[in-house]
Amino acid sequence: MKTSLSKKGNRYQGKKVTLNKPFYTPGERKKSAVYVKNDSGNVIKVRFGDPNMEIKRDNPERRKNFRARHNCSDAKDKTTPKYWSCKAW
């Protein structure tokens, strides 16, 4: 029996996907996406990030301000774009 922690062998719309691994989505309405399992056990795609903006996380002051502005310390739910945006920063 497979557990929900397994990263491989999960399906989204009939396609095998890897969970909890962000990937770029060129040409889409968001910059990145990630497949995760929700509370009911279904695999969902979470899209996040503005495709027209660049992440400047190398600058400590910008990083600190982004994390404060978005309350990244409270981002615990993997099914939300906020969690993955904060993780990218």
CB 76 within 8 A of CB 70: no
pTM of the predicted model, to two decimals?
0.79
Report percent pLDDT > 70 for the chain: 90
Binned at pLDDT 50, 70 and 90, residue 55 comes out as confident
DSSP 8-state class, residue 31: S
Concatenate the DSSP letters of all residues of 15-66 into one string: EEE-BT--EE-TTSSSSEEEEEE-TTS-EEEEEES-TT----TTSHHHHHHH
pLDDT value, residue 3: 44
Binned at pLDDT 50, 70 and 90, residue 89 comes out as confident
- DSSP bridge partners of 11: 16
Binned at pLDDT 50, 70 and 90, residue 53 comes out as confident
